[in-house]
Amino acid sequence: MSYEKHRHRLLHEYPAISDLAAKAQKRIPDVAWQYLVAGTGEEKLLQRNRDALNAIAMPPEFCKGDLEPQLTTSLFGQSYNAPFGIAPVGLTGLMWPRAEIILAKAAAKYGIPFSLSTVATETPETLASHIGDMGWFQLYPPRERHLREALMDRAWEAGFRVLLITADVPTPSRRERTKRAGLQMPPKMTTSFLWQGITHPVWTWHTLRRGLPKLRTVLSYSEFQDMMSVGKFVRSRLGGNLSWEMCEEIKAYWKGPVVLKGVLHPADAEKAAAIGLDGVVVSNHGGRQFDGAPAAIEALPAVARIAMGKMAVIMDSGIRTGLDILRALSLGADFTLLGRAFLFGVAALGEYGGEHTIEILSDDLKNNMIQLGVEDFSNLPQPRL
Ligand SMILES: Cc1cc2nc3c(=O)[nH]c(=O)nc-3n(C[C@H](O)[C@H](O)[C@H](O)COP(=O)(O)O)c2cc1C
């Protein structure tokens, strides 16, 4: 049955991303929930991301007659139907089986980008028939050049056209919360995990149908295919050694736009522009890597000033509403990404989750644009900081 038949009811039952989060928490095993919501260290940055967004106020202007907000925007020469997309999320199938497929289909249907993580649980090839021209691929660059190129070749051939290089994982995060919850990378079948499976039968039924989550894209590069060996491969051979030289090599190899994800320091934005990258994502990985980082929205204005006229600026980390998206655009972002919001959607509503998350955000965006008195993003007011 199509989402449209449920849209009206769902917008009443789940009008906000926080409603999806509350439902998701009940529907998925605790270990998956803790993985999804985790920050790192004392998790101060999670709150800082939210507080900094909430602190941005924009003065509305009234008496403008009928307003028809336009959400369409263009980025890298491509038109998107809204100024937000789906951020790359690893181990996705742990939160909800086939999450990538559900989200890729929703993105293609609504005309917004979907980013596939290197460590997602579905492959570029599986998504090829669902994603249309909305696919972005996120690269944790393998140390060996032949592996890097093999991954990029697969993504390109499957139809992914924008490449995100993730810069902000120089080393795996400690993410204490996931350790306390008993999550091992890759996930292990412990008694507690089995018990959580028994007490979350819908999740378990879908998981058994799809098969236990595996890092399917990188599986074939690991000498052995068992979860331990693949986990070891990821830790030892993916990422951690990214340099500007490697970014230049990747830029020369990839035929589409290349974007550096995880930029917070103006100096990094300057270097990215100097080597000819097409854009940066101002992001602190949703507060999951370095608890001492600034909120992404705090770092945005300085990066946007450097990028102006040279590179696109995308922002993520902490966005939960259409209003947050407007806040980011008003401070110089060309586009935004959301990670957890979409996983809350899919974990809460399964097949309808991607579409419903897009509907909530689009509805909220339009409503807040009318409140502000604007019809497009070029006329957003200067925020009061
Ligand atoms: C569960 C989870 C897994 C993630 N995995 C990846 C990943 O594999 N690669 C990556 O570049 N970013 C990853 N991120 C970061 C997101 O791409 C994005 O930067 C972040 O989720 C934005 O913050 P938000 O969740 O508050 O929207 C992950 C985030 C979450 C929540």
Q: Which of 31, 285, 320, 336 to mutate to test the pocket of ligand 1 (most atoms within 8 A of CB)?
A: 285
Which CATH number is 4-257+318-374's, of 3.40.50.2300, 3.30.830.10, 3.30.365.10, 3.20.20.70?
3.20.20.70
DSSP, collapsed to helix, strand or coil, labels residue 2 as coil
What number is the average pLDDT over the span 17-21? 98
Q: How far is the CA of 132 from the centre of ligand 1 (A)?
A: 22
pLDDT digits (tens, 9 = 90+) for 254-264: 999 999 999 99
Other Cβ atoms within 10 Å of 63 Cβ, number: 5
For the CA atoms of 122, 124, 126, 132, what is the dihedral angle to 10 degrees?
Answer: 120
Q: How far is the CA of 65 from the centre of ligand 1 (A)?
A: 40
- If one compares 229 and 41, the residue with the highest pLDDT of the two is 41
Q: How far is the CA of 89 from the centre of ligand 1 (A)?
A: 5
Ligand 1 proximal residues by C-beta, below 6 Å: 35-36, 87-90, 117, 119, 138, 166, 261, 283, 285-286, 288, 316-319, 338-341
pLDDT at position 186, please? 60
Backbone angles phi, psi at 314, to 5 degrees: -115, 145
Cα separation of 124 and 336, whole Å? 22
Q: How far is the CA of 320 from the centre of ligand 1 (A)?
A: 14
pLDDT at position 232, please? 83
Q: Are 364 and 322 in contact (CB under 8 A)?
A: yes
Backbone angles phi, psi at 168, to 5 degrees: -95, 25
Q: Are 119 and 90 in contact (CB under 8 A)?
A: yes
Q: How far is the CA of 251 from the centre of ligand 1 (A)?
A: 22
Work out the angle between the directed axes of helices 124-131 and 99-110 (0-180°, nearest 10).
Answer: 30
Q: Are 318 and 72 in contact (CB under 8 A)?
A: no
- The minimum-distance atom of ligand 1 relative to the CA of 35 is 1
Best CA proximity match to 357, nearest among 46, 75, 110, 88: 110
Q: How far is the CA of 340 from the centre of ligand 1 (A)?
A: 7
Cα separation of 134 and 162, whole Å? 9
- The minimum-distance atom of ligand 1 relative to the CA of 88 is 17
pLDDT at position 197, please? 84
Is residue 1 predicted with pLDDT exceeding 80?
no
pLDDT-derived band at 185 (thresholds 50, 70, 90) equals: low
What number is the average pLDDT over the span 88-94? 95
Is residue 367 predicted with pLDDT exceeding 80?
yes
- If one compares 278 and 213, the residue with the highest pLDDT of the two is 278
Mean pLDDT of the chain: 95
Q: Which of 33, 89, 340 to mutate to test the pocket of ligand 1 (most atoms within 8 A of CB)?
A: 89
Best CA proximity match to 119, nearest among 219, 23, 35: 219
pLDDT-derived band at 190 (thresholds 50, 70, 90) equals: confident
Best CA proximity match to 313, nearest among 375, 260, 373, 353: 260
pLDDT at position 213, please? 85
What number is the average pLDDT over the span 221-249? 86
pLDDT digits (tens, 9 = 90+) for 265-319: 999 999 999 999 999 999 999 999 999 999 999 999 999 999 999 999 999 999 9
pLDDT at position 385, please? 64
Is residue 384 predicted with pLDDT exceeding 80?
no
Question: Which residue puts its alpha carbon closest to atom 4 of ligand 1?
Answer: 89
For the CA atoms of 41, 44, 46, 51, what is the dihedral angle to 10 degrees?
Answer: -170
**Residue % of the chain over a pLDDT of 70:** 98
pLDDT digits (tens, 9 = 90+) for 117-130: 999 999 999 999 99
- The minimum-distance atom of ligand 1 relative to the CA of 119 is 8
Break the chain into its structural domains and give their ranges.
Answer: 4-257+318-374
Question: Which residue puts its alpha carbon closest to atom 30 of ligand 1?
Answer: 89
Q: Which of 25, 288, 346 to mutate to test the pocket of ligand 1 (most atoms within 8 A of CB)?
A: 288
DSSP, collapsed to helix, strand or coil, labels residue 262 as strand
**Residue % of the chain over a pLDDT of 90:** 83
Q: Hey, which residues are catalytic here?
A: 285
pLDDT at position 187, please? 64
Give, for 271, the enclosing helix (H) or strand (E).
helix 266-274
- The minimum-distance atom of ligand 1 relative to the CA of 318 is 26
Is residue 212 predicted with pLDDT exceeding 90?
no
Other Cβ atoms within 10 Å of 2 Cβ, number: 9
